[in-house]
A = this chain, B = another copy of it.
Amino acid sequence: MTVTFPKGFRSAGIAVGLKSTGKPDLALVVNDGPARAAAVVFTSNRAQANPILWSRKVAQNGPARAVVLNSGGANCFTGDFGYETTRLTAEAVATALGSDPNGDASDSAADDILVCSTGLIGTGDQSFRDKIVGNIPQLVQALAADDTTAPAAILTTDSVEKTASHEGDGWRIGAMAKGAGMLAPGLATMLVVITTDAHIDNEVADRALRGATGGSFDRLDSDGCMSTNDQVTLLASGASGVTPDEEEFAAALAAVCDSLAAQLQADAEGASHDIDIEVMGAASVADAVEVGRSVARNNLFKAAIFGNDPNWGRVLAAIGTTEAAFDPYQVDVSFNGVRLCHAGGPDRPVDECDLTPRKTHVLIELYAGEHTATVRTNDLTHDYVHENSAYSS
């Protein structure tokens, strides 16, 4: 179930030669209405790709009619030529879609078209413009209300397509995502398009999306590296005619984002363990997230997990670098259900703990309050080093 699961949406994915493999690399998701509510969360990286610079303006304008996404090139640090390519892409989509039966005259303008790009950043190759802009008419022609080809066209080093859906009482949510590295917090950390036929306004969409990303993608920290390009978009067509309770909608959206975040974690580049770091007893949620993140970003901890070594000392050393409220001599640390550290000292023997399963659970009990958070990460492996040293070659 992808972005065409809710009513009022068409999508398409085609190959235009951006990927040297010849795989699909250009996708389009169109909201046919009748409503056009939208919310977008952008990377918080201050070095931002051209599609981000463009889409920020579109998002400020209010309603969005479509999202066009390419893989095989991030269009980042590509200068004026790159920005102009983004603008021309949006224009070509607006032109090819033609005037909008559901909108006013201005609805066919380029400034209703969000653009996303992913792939290598900083290339000097300018051939991508013609490949994208020249193939927009073909892409629009491929649009279908039962399309399943879009999710594959946004993948880069991903090994699998990522989609999620929710069926409400007369309304639906559909979603697709890409991301297999550079998954870091404090931002939207990948390309995600979420569609719904619920009848909601921009404010509800924005509140629900910020809440859902804050509890899911923002707590996924695969390798501590923040992308220049990533964007999470929610489009609401209102085609179901149903306005769900806001809390119910927010919870459903959060569940969809949580599912996608878990899929992104499971497909992280080169990883051999999916590690959920659960922090309990924190003085605040912010403390819990900071502690979880400090462990998630610790290369020594991540390498130990790769070696199936439940090295709880590295967990405490990482916690010690935070500003969170805690006393090192009160902390408990468990790996996969075995408490190895009690009150800052050794507890059960480490050989009681089995780290061979891919799913890994690290429980940190701070005894400093009542708050909790889980940060998802991956281990640091030979394959991670290999994939990321060979990425651009």
Task: Name A residues whose Cβ lies closer than 8 Å to a Cβ of B.
Answer: 45-48, 74, 76-79, 120-124, 181-182, 223-228, 297-300, 303-304, 306-307, 309, 311-314, 316-322, 328, 341, 343-346, 349, 380-382, 384-386, 388-393
Number of copies: 2
Identify A77's interface contact among B181, B226, B328, B389, CB under 8 A.
Answer: B328
Chain B's nearest CB lies how many Å from the CB of A203? 29
Please measure, in the bound complex, the distance between the C-alpha atom of A346 and the C-alpha atom of B389, giving whole angstroms: 20
**Chain A: interface secondary structure?**
loop
Residues from chain B with a CB closer than 8 A to the CB of A384 are: 299, 303, 385
Partner of A304 from the list B124, B313, B328, B392 (CB cut-off 8 Å) is B392
25 contacts between A and B (CB under 8 A): A45-B317, A46-B321, A46-B328, A47-B328, A47-B344, A76-B317, A77-B328, A78-B346, A121-B313, A121-B316, A121-B317, A122-B311, A124-B345, A182-B317, A224-B297, A225-B299, A225-B300, A226-B320, A228-B316, A303-B385, A309-B389, A311-B392, A380-B385, A382-B382, A384-B385
CB atoms of B389 and A317 under 8 A apart? no
Among B74, B182, B317, point to the contact of A225 (Cβ < 8 A). B317
Give the docked Cα–Cα distance between A371 and B79 (Å). 27
Q: Which residues of B contact A182 (CB under 8 A)?
A: 300, 317
> Quick one: which of B223, B322, B385 contacts A382, CB cutoff 8 A?
B385
Chain B residues, CB < 8 A from A79? 343-346
